[in-house]
Structure 1
Amino acid sequence: MKRYSFALIISLVISCFISYADDCLPDRQAGKQLSMPTVDWEGAKSQWKGFDRYDFVFFPEEQKVGLPGRSADGGGLSARIVVPKVALPGNPWVWRARFPDWHTEMDSILLSEGFYIAYINTNNQYGSPAAVDSWNQFYEYLVNQHQLSRKVALEGVSRGGLFIYNWAKQNPEKVSCIYAEAPVCDFKSWPGRFGKGQGSAADWERLKQEYGFASDEEALNYANNPMDNLEQLALAKVPVMHMIGLKDEVVPPKENTFLLIDRYVKLGGPATIIPCTRGEQKLFGHHFPIETPELGAQFILQHTELPAKVLDATQYHRLRSGLKNSQIKFEREKKGRVAFLGGSITYNGGWRDSICNYLQTRFPDTDFEFIAAGIPSMGTTPAAFRLERDVLANGPVDLLFEEAAVNDASNGRSDEEQVRAMEGIVRHLKKSNPAIDLVIMHFVDPDKMETYRQGEVPKVIQNHEKVAAHYGISTINLAKEVTDRIDAGEFSWEEDFKNLHPSPFGQQVYYRSMKQLLDRAWSGFVAEDDKLTSYSMPDPIDSDNYGNGKLVAVEKKQEGKGWLFVPSWKPKDNKGTRANYVNVPMLVCEKPSGILKWNFEGNTVGIAVAAGPDAGTIEYRIDGGSWQQLDLFTRWSAHLHLPWYYTLATGLDDGKHVLRIRVSAEKNKQSTGNACRIRYFYCSD
């Protein structure tokens, strides 16, 4: 269990300030459906042609101090984003390379249509591998942290051609189209002056230094200029449009655009050249008026794929009794204890950190204690018994987020046990604080997606919803929401969400839905006469629920024949371990043994063990009952001393009982031994 200060939360989530709009309503002016726009952009806000512009410093992971365009301390690259008033579905964007304020008519049109315009200052890096690396990281930042579209339209002016083509050739699947004005397609032409162009001696020297060329000869032999290696870009059928001046003596078309487009078309790539011949041709023909900026805007619009529909997250929310108590507590008392209970998806950073930041931002005067009680591989059964230790040790909680749908299903917990455990969590929390607000979240995995596509509801979600409905608890069905969004073409599992442990993109899909639920729940104001309300405690669904669950640490006095109390156990086989299950007390037996006895009270009993590669088989009985056998080896045990909770009996009479355990001579064929290592006993009294 971890408790985070606000300062630490900020350090964890400074890049996760993401939000979606509350509703997806028609745009009255343009007749477009609203996307769920990103907000909370970093940096200084200003106006750019009537749109909000944010200037900030971006910090690539590989920092190279002193490059042009970086902040004064050499720590980052200056960047900016211009935000549309109403974003198109999917948040499409244009990425400008170099000269972001040159010929901006087309960008104004695209902003009005709902595009974002992005720019990062890698100006004097001439599209070098270092510049491409920074672009890769900036792309991931905008797509994962701010939910911009996975495909981007590239705009390059003059030397900007070096950037857009070098990045596009490395990332053809991420490019919707390429628009370029008088683009440099071969640095031998500009700035090298090895053709008929005017070139630039100073830029040529800087370019050689940036690329690491020791001589002109080495630079001239370089074989990855924009016009080289276009095969994958052409194979991806990325549309290209070049606007050029026929009298350009700085970047002559014959040495640049004509050569690139000729090669690209011969490879099967779609390409268009628009010669701009009207108006005054300045700077030796390199600066010319764009006769039809609408044509360039339409080119980008035509080749930008938009999702057919952006779904409203509210259809996946069930507020039930609501979350008014926590709002009253946070706003009026200025104190709040918020807990996150679940498995690895809660343990890992991402949505949880974003929710912490959201709460602190929404209630800036509130002193929050955030309790991170996620533990990998844990579902509702472990949570029901570790609740007192991991969540309630310092007192009642005001708001708790619980997730277990992935692990309850994958860990093979029965329907009966899923209900007993979830109900036990709820009843235990409500007894500690009758006014507690709860949110149960159903996270996604491929099996749940397949079940929904067959027109059915995953059984684990049915079980958790049964408990939630009985107690009036709010739920968020993210498994169904993610499935529907993928099926609607908003994003993909393989490229975007990636795994049941979500990518940063997926983490923000989770977060924005949670935020929307919280915004709805707390949309009203807190009146002076509003008071905390104790929620009702109905009769239990299952009288054998784990509502009084607790863990009991092992002790030396519990040693039995063949059983040894090890004060600080660690494996000798170099296999993996998990926190709190290594360098801690264990009752250990590694071969067939005598009987270990434990006296307890209550209707349920179990053991929490480290089930590793040598996990054996135990025999156990309660009181004078018959001996039963249990294989401790799990499907994950071969590579990990996995923490695992085995419920040995439930439905017992209330009162005192005796658990007896012995290690069997039998074992799983995959196991390398007969070991039983007990970290805790657990019971519900």
Structure 2
Amino acid sequence: MYTTTIKLTVLTLLAMFSMAPVQADPPEYHAVKAELVKPRQGIGNTIKKLKSGDDVSVAYLGGSITAANGWRVKTTKWLQSAFPKAKIHEIHAAIGGTGSDLGAFRLEHDVLQHHPDLVFVEFAVNDGGREPESIWESMDGIVRQIWKANPKTDICFVYTFRVNYENDLRKGENPRAASAMELLADHYGIPSINVALKTAELEQQGKLKFTSETPVAEGIVLFSKDGVHPLDEGHEIYTEVIADAFKQMETTSQPVDHSSKLKQPFVMGHWTDAKMVPLETSMLSGNWKELPADNVLQKRFGGRMGQIWEADAPGSKLTFRFRGSQAALYDLLGPDGGQVQITVDGKPREKLTPRFDSYCTYHRISTLKLAEGLDPHQVHTVTVEIDAEQPDRNPVAFRLKNPAEELKSPKYQGTRIRVGKIMLRGELVP
């Protein structure tokens, strides 16, 4: 009886391990050939619904290029005109200055709760400074979260342009971030559309200028003012490429259940467990308060961040415990921002962390990294405490007409910290 029990236990464990995903060899990065459209397994589920005249929800997850009133809006309008029987619902899920690392955490709130049929993912510019291995972790997490929520949701990567990307594109190669994403897209069969390549090709043909301080000749497209954010004609180019890609995939795509692709992750460190959790009063000490619904910052950012909490009294603390590997805060930077002491598992960070930087003539969404690379099986304690002194405001001086006087104004005074949610890879522990 005892021997039989041991055998059954061993067989059970072997079965469990055989079902667990195993990655024999981690992926190796290499530059990938740039192609305008890679249909791969396409967007067949979306095409079927569009042709059937169903309601179709299209999400646009990305940074400021997608947040602009440009290719996102134009693509939605094109889809509605190309498939007039369908009802297109646009899910605006883009935040300027953010990459796929934040995207993996905010995906549920900004995209998945709206039940998308198709998700465009645009992070090739804002992920440009990250290592391929880091890009894979967050992008793999985005893909797997989407298909875990609904395996019939289609995904399409979109690679946008910024100045200096032409150096790789002229060699026929994708820049690093797009190459990293292409390797992941190959693994999962995700289609990709390379609007950056079209932009570089038009410049090579003498039909477009990336930027110009003087008026361009008639018939020449001025792509942007800053080399990153397209003007209207630039967004029109993006939309035309996407429309052509749709027409191509319309003839090649078949409906697919993507659930089988979840059996094998691209990287073992994927951020499928990335999530955001709201603050609880039990975590807070000091003068924390919920911003009222009519507060200008709550009205402006609450749609993304949920309920925003604010404190400014020195010594006010946010403390929480979690079992997991990574934690951060989804917070606001601004001209009246303070600085904090971060302590993880009893070890204070050597330097104070300001919630103010050289862009802080206004408030904007940001993230405050607290801890990463922790033992995911252990319980960790994190404390964020407001310091008595406000951070140095001089980094923003070059943006002001009269910095000596303006930095003395009430706008730039304060030690305020504003937090929307806690970002976790793991679970809160009471």
What TM-score, normalized by structure 2, do the two folds share? Answer: 0.73
CA distance, structure 2, for counterparts of residue 617 and residue 537 of structure 1: 41
- For residues 560-585 of structure 1, the C-alpha deviation after alignment (integer angstroms, 9 at most, x for no partner) is 1x44123339999xx9x953389974
Q: Distance in 2 between matches of 1:514 and 1:581?
A: 28
> Quick one: distance in 1 between partners of 2:185 and 2:156?
9
Is structure 2 residue 314 aligned with structure 1 residue 579?
no
Superposed displacement of residue 493, structure 1? 2.2
Going from structure 1 to structure 2, the CA distance change for 1:404 and 1:531 (only over 3 Å counts) comes to closer
Give the whole-Å Cα distance in 2 for the aligned partners of 1:327 and 1:340: 17
Which of the residues 368, 372, 380 maps onto 1:650? 372
Whether the 8 Å contact between 1:379 and 1:407 is mirrored in structure 2 is: yes
Specify the alignment match of 2:64 in structure 1.
Answer: 344
> Structure 1: how far apart are the matches of 2:176 and 2:120?
21
Structure 2 SS opposite 1:637 = coil
Q: Say which of 419, 422, 425 aligns to 1:681.
A: 422
Specify the alignment match of 2:276 in structure 1: 551
Are 1:510 and 2:238 an aligned pair?
A: yes
Contact 1:598–1:660 under 8 Å retained in 2: yes
Is 1:469 matched up with 2:186? yes
Task: Select 1:597's aligned residue among 319, 326, 332.
Answer: 319
Q: 1:487 corresponds to which residue? A: 204
Q: How many Å separate the matches in 2 of 1:361 and 1:591?
A: 54
How far off its partner does 1:473 sit? 1.4
- 1:590 Cα deviation after fit: 2.9
Q: Is the 8 A contact 1:388 1:550 kept in 2?
A: yes
Cα-to-partner distance string for 1:496-552 (whole Å, 9 max, x where unaligned): 2124221111111000111111111112587xxx77564512533443332132222
Residue in 2 aligned with 1:408? 127
Q: Report the Cα distance in structure 1 between the residues aligned to 2:93 and 2:125, rounded to whole angstroms.
A: 16
Instruction: Choose the corresponding residue for 1:449, options 163, 166, 179.
Output: 166
Distance 1:480 1:635 in 2: 33
Q: CA deviation at 1:484?
A: 2.2
In the TM superposition, what whole-angstrom CA distance separates every residue of 1:175-215 from its partner, at most 9, and x where no partner exists?
A: xxxxxxxxxxxxxxxxxxxxxxxxxxxxxxxxxxxxxxxxx
Q: Distance in 2 between matches of 1:583 and 1:603?
A: 22
Please tell me the residue identity of whatever aligns with 1:487: Q
Residues in 2 aligned to 1:358 and 1:390: alpha-carbon distance in whole angstroms: 23
Q: Which amino acid aligns with 2:246?
A: L
* Distance in 2 between residues matched to 1:417 and 1:488, nearest whole Å: 35
| 2:149 matched residue in structure 1 | 432
Larger radius of gyration between Structure 1 and Structure 2: 1
Counterpart CA distance in 2 for 1:583 and 1:455 is 40
- Distance in 2 (CA, whole Å) between partners of 1:637 and 1:437 is 36
What amino acid is the match of 1:315? Answer: E
Q: How far is the alpha carbon of 1:455 from its aligned partner? A: 7.8
AA at the equivalent of 1:491: L
Shift of 1:662: 1.7
1:180-579 alignment, distance < 5 Å: 315-332=35-52, 334-395=54-115, 397-409=116-128, 413=130, 415-450=132-167, 452=169, 457-494=174-211, 495=216, 496-499=222-225, 500-524=228-252, 532=257, 534-560=259-285, 562-568=286-292, 579=301
- Please tell me whether the aligned partners of residues 631 and 667 of structure 1 are also in contact (alpha carbons under 8 angstroms): no
Following the alignment from structure 1 to structure 2, what is the Cα–Cα distance between the partners of residues 583 and 319? 35
**Deviation of 1:472 (Å):** 1.9
Runs of 4+ in 1 over 6 A off after TM superposition: 569-572, 581-584
Q: Which moves more between the two structures, 454-463 or 432-441?
A: 454-463
Instruction: Report the Cα offset of residue 648 of structure 1.
Output: 2.4
Match of 1:659 in 2: 382
Indicate conservation of the 8 Å contact 2:139/2:181, yes or no: yes
Measured against aligned partners, the alpha-carbon deviations of 1:292-312 in whole angstroms (never above 9, x if no partner) come to xxxxxxxxxxxxxxxxxxxxx
Shift of 1:421: 1.8
Rounded Cα–Cα distance in structure 1 between residues aligned with 2:347 and 2:373: 14
Relative distance call for 1:670 and 1:649 in structure 2 (3 A) is same
Partner Cα separation in structure 1 for residue 133 and residue 387 of structure 2: 28
- Match in the other structure for 2:219: none
Pairwise CA RMSD of aligned residues?
A: 3.4
Question: Is the CA contact 1:559–1:565 (under 8 Å) kept in the aligned structure 2?
Answer: no
**Alpha-carbon distance in structure 2 between the residues aligned to 1:451 and 1:425:** 26
**Which residue matches 1:253?**
none
Alpha-carbon shift at residue 346 of structure 1 (Å): 1.6
**What is the match of residue 76 of structure 1?**
none
Q: Percent identity?
A: 27
Conserved in 1, the CA contact under 8 Å of 2:327 and 2:370? yes
In structure 2, relative to structure 1, the CA distance for the partners of 1:478 and 1:654 (3 Å cut) is farther
Retained in 2: the 8 A contact 1:616–1:667? yes
How far apart, CA to CA, are the structure 2 residues paired with 1:668 and 1:354? 42
Whole-angstrom CA distance in 1 between matches of 2:233 and 2:147: 34
The residue identity in structure 2 corresponding to 1:663 is: I
Separation in structure 2 between the aligned mates of residue 437 and residue 558 of structure 1, nearest angstrom? 39
Q: Tell me the distance in 2 between the aligned counterparts of 1:467 and 1:617.
A: 38
Structure 2 CA distance, aligned partners of 1:538 and 1:681? 29
1:602 and 1:684 in contact (8 A); partners too: yes
Q: 1:590 to 1:466 in 2, by over 3 A?
A: farther
Tell me the residue number matched to 1:669. 392
CA distance in 2, matches of 1:543, 1:525: 29
CA distance in 2, matches of 1:568, 1:481: 47
> Using the alignment, how far apart are the partners of 1:431 and 1:656 within structure 2?
26
What code does the residue aligned with 1:498 have?
S
Structure 1 residues 50-86: Cα deviation after superposition (integer angstroms, max 9, x where no partner)? xxxxxxxxxxxxxxxxxxxxxxxxxxxxxxxxxxxxx
Aligned AA for 1:661?
Answer: V
SS at match of 1:405: coil
CA contact (8 A) 1:565 1:585 kept: no
**Quick one: distance in 1 between partners of 2:131 and 2:337?**
22
Which residue is 1:607 aligned to?
329
- Corresponding residue for 2:20? none
Deviation of the 1:625 alpha carbon: 4.8
Whole-angstrom distance in 1 between the partners of 2:237 and 2:371: 40
Unaligned runs of 5+ in 1: 1-313
Q: 1:639 to 1:416 in 2, by over 3 A?
A: farther
* 1:679 aligned partner, one-letter code: G
**Which amino acid is the alignment partner of residue 224 of structure 2?**
K
* SS in structure 2 at match of 1:679: strand
Please give the alpha-carbon distance, in whole angstroms, between the structure 2 residues aligned to 1:677 and 1:416.
31
Write the deviation string for residues 113-168 of structure 1: whole angstroms up to 9, x where unpaired: xxxxxxxxxxxxxxxxxxxxxxxxxxxxxxxxxxxxxxxxxxxxxxxxxxxxxxxx
Superposition pairs for residues 15-26 of structure 1, below 5 Å?
none
d(CA) in 2 for partners of 1:617, 1:627? 12
**3-state SS, counterpart of residue 203 of structure 2:** helix
TM-score, L = length of structure 1: 0.48
